[in-house]
Chains A and B, each alone.
Chain A
């Protein structure tokens, strides 16, 4: 159930009340309640896929238990990781692998060897809970994390409903101690902080992401009907959309976690103010990039090796990142573009910013444009479409006109994006000034809450009744 759905807004206060009705001394019952709720919400989509979640939980749990007592740790680790990753490979990548293999056979002249994938629905959140399970097994193997003997505690760690759909990818070392009761019965300050995050996350999602998405979803799927300028503007808006969507959702997840007394991993830190691609990955989807760093990049040798090997490590890490994002060559190319750009930065020593304000601004703009360029591959359904859309953006023979609907749509887009930019700009450069949600004066804080709430209600895309009618 997504946080910006009406169902969640109705159901969550009820769950919240029920959760806090359980007395503090019955911490285990509260955890059991959260586990039941997490599985219950997960099963609202396709109940049968809860078995996949349960299966991944059981495999990783017993792998970790076995790692604690066996002398064949490496074999158990290998077996456990393969078994944990198998559902992900099976559901998410089997069709892609079969299709790619089939295309390869056709390309090398083996006729029309058609291999059909499963084309099954992918269990929601499988990439997230699988990576959490892998991180737990690896941490137990490297003795960074004690084995969790309580199956229910471990099951709650993997299925915790605020983060199961879209992350953050939490580490066991962060969550399991909190499940064990090392959190207050009700932490008022944390709950208020959580509500602020939910409010701002909702603004990012429905006022910014969903609003600019109306334009993006009209232009990019039919790029061949629009001018290069329109395609470029749509790509810029998609860059904003994906940040506001994913960043907003992560904030809501963290906020819901805080309301229940949990601290989840920070996921975004104003990524479009990055001065390099390397910097971008320190700010974008932080829980994934740190996962890739700890479980792919560093085990391969990280940066403690020669330059060639280090470049290879970066390349493979971002190949994995691309594959993780989706079963399509577009994601792989997107990941590799980020990997190659980071290798270039590292070789040229550009990953750190040492210049003045002007240089910083230039670097922010260049990084933004590079990231924007890569997002086109992420958004388009195929490499062919991505290349055609990009070539349209640079086609001087096309008219320089911009597709627009009504000036009111532009006002809503400028309002949402403008407010988001001002907020991120303030957080980046004047973090202790012009406070709104954290202002000492109650009146200003409340005016801030009310304005954001009213903006959501009046300018947010709260249903699919808002759309851009593109003449067909």
Chain B
């Protein structure tokens, strides 16, 4: 009897949220809906927070004359980027794709792959998304039978932004960190050892394979203390194999330890982002 109540409540909740979620226009989920269902820019930028706050899409658009949009998502990795690319390609084929590659999110075992689930779960019924979810965690296919689980911890945000849409999608998806004196530059110790995540690398390969009809660039944006580029070896090998441009700003002396351009050791501030975007445009024009 109790189980019956639970099942009814779960079904009703799922029904209501499935109606609400795609209609959300504001907040993170509104931006996610826009990227997944509406974006039609010819130049798309993907990656984690370093993509989201480093690439001024408006500046790129103005300089190159190509409609651009920044699809980067803070705290998320190659799985969400691939999923978004799949959903975009259902209706639109971008001409240029810039993928900001971050070792921790796209190559190494540093981050728990499960962290990409919060957005992915909302698109579980779309083509190919359930496969990504099950690659990350095979048991998810059973958990996703529950509607409440699907909206666990995001239902409140979905409801609130559905009721009161607040647009914070930035300028064409670009959301820079404001310049402030509250600079936070305690970098982690320089690493000498790392472990590659074969699943992430396989998904980077999938991104390459699914963008054969586009011009793809892998870009490493600036880092405050630079980087041992050896860590990018698998990405460089992929680029060499598929003849993809690999643009590396990680150790560019213009940026390394230039505190005026950074918000923290991994992220440029708004000024730094604009400087970097200019330099990137210069590279893209070559």
Binding site for B on A (CB under 8 A): 6-7, 10, 222, 224-225, 406, 408, 411-412, 446, 449-450, 453-454, 457-467, 469, 471-472
- Whether B5 lies near A469 (C-beta < 8 A) is no
A461 and B154 CA atoms in complex are apart in Å by 11
**B contact residues vs A (CB 8 Å cutoff):** 2, 5-6, 9-10, 49, 74-75, 112, 114-118, 121, 137, 139, 142-143, 146, 148-149, 151-153, 155-157, 160, 184, 186, 188, 263-267
Q: Pick the contact of A446: B2, B115, B151, B153 (CB < 8 A).
A: B2
Q: CB < 8 Å: which of A7, A458, A462, A467 contacts B115? A: A467
Pick the residue among A6, A7, A408, A462 that contacts B152 (CB under 8 A). A462
A-B pairs, top 8 by smallest CB distance, nearest first, are A465-B117, A469-B75, A457-B148, A464-B114, A465-B118, A464-B112, A472-B266, A471-B264
- Evaluate whether A6 and B265 lie within 8 angstroms (CB atoms) in the complex, with A224-B186, A464-B114, A465-B114 already known: no
Residues of B within 8 A of A453 (CB): 6
For A461, what are the chain B residues with a Cβ–Cβ distance below 8 Å? 153
- Contact assessment for A462 and B149 in the assembled complex, using a CB-CB cutoff below 8 Å: yes
With contact pairs A446-B2, A446-B5, A450-B9 given, residues A463 and B155 touching in the complex (Cβ less than 8 Å): no
Q: Given the complex of chains A and B, what is the CA–CA distance between A457 and B146 in angstroms?
A: 9
Tell whether, in the assembled complex, residue A458 and residue B151 are in contact, meaning their CB atoms are under 8 Å apart: yes
Bound Cα distance A408, B152 (Å): 13
A260–B157 Cα distance when bound, in Å, is 40
- What residues of chain A lie closer than 8 Å to B266, measured between beta carbons? 471-472
Contacting residues, chain B, for A406 (C-beta < 8 A): 157
Report B191 CB to chain A, min CB distance, Å. 13
| Residues of A contacting B: mostly | helix
Determine whether the beta carbon of B6 is less than 8 Å from that of A458.
Answer: no
B151 to chain A, nearest CB (A): 7
Q: How far is the CB of B188 from chain A (nearest CB, A)?
A: 8
With A449-B2, A458-B153, A465-B117 known as contacts, the answer to whether A471 contacts B143 (CB < 8 A) is: no
Q: Which residues of B contact A446 (CB under 8 A)?
A: 2, 5
Q: How far is the CA of A208 from the CA of B49 in the complex (A)?
A: 28
Distance of A450 Cα from B4 Cα, bound (Å): 11
| Most A-side CB within 10 Å, residue of B6, B10, B143, B152 | B152
Residue of B nearest to A468 (CB): B75
The distance in angstroms between the C-alpha atoms of A10 and B2, with both chains bound, is: 17
Closest to A453 in B: B6
B134 CB, min distance to chain A CBs, angstroms: 14
In angstroms, Cα B219 to Cα A90, docked, is: 50
B148 with A472: CB separation less than 8 A:
no
Asked if B74 and A469 make an inter-chain contact with CB atoms under 8 angstroms apart, the answer reads yes
> How far in angstroms is the closest Cβ of chain B from A456?
9
Q: 25 pairs across A/B with beta carbons < 8 Å?
A: A10-B142, A222-B186, A225-B184, A225-B186, A408-B160, A412-B153, A449-B2, A450-B2, A450-B6, A457-B10, A457-B146, A457-B152, A458-B148, A458-B155, A459-B153, A461-B153, A463-B117, A463-B137, A463-B152, A465-B115, A465-B118, A467-B112, A471-B49, A472-B264, A472-B266
Q: Are A454 and B117 in contact (CB under 8 A)?
A: no
Contact B75 A465 (CB under 8 A): no
Asked if B265 and A472 make an inter-chain contact with CB atoms under 8 angstroms apart, the answer reads yes
Assess whether A466 is in contact with B6, with CB atoms less than 8 Å apart. no
Residues of A within 8 A of B49 (CB): 469, 471
Complex alpha-carbon distance, A465 and B77, angstroms: 12
* Distance in Å: Cβ of A112 to nearest Cβ of chain B: 21
Most buried by A among B137, B139, B148: B148
Q: Give Cα A357 to B275, complex, Å.
A: 64
Distance (Å) between the CB of B56 and the closest chain A CB? Answer: 19
Q: What residues of A have a CB within 8 angstroms of the CB of B121 in the complex?
A: 465
B residues near A222, Cβ cutoff 8 Å: 186
A408, A457, A464, A469 — most chain B CB neighbours (10 Å): A457
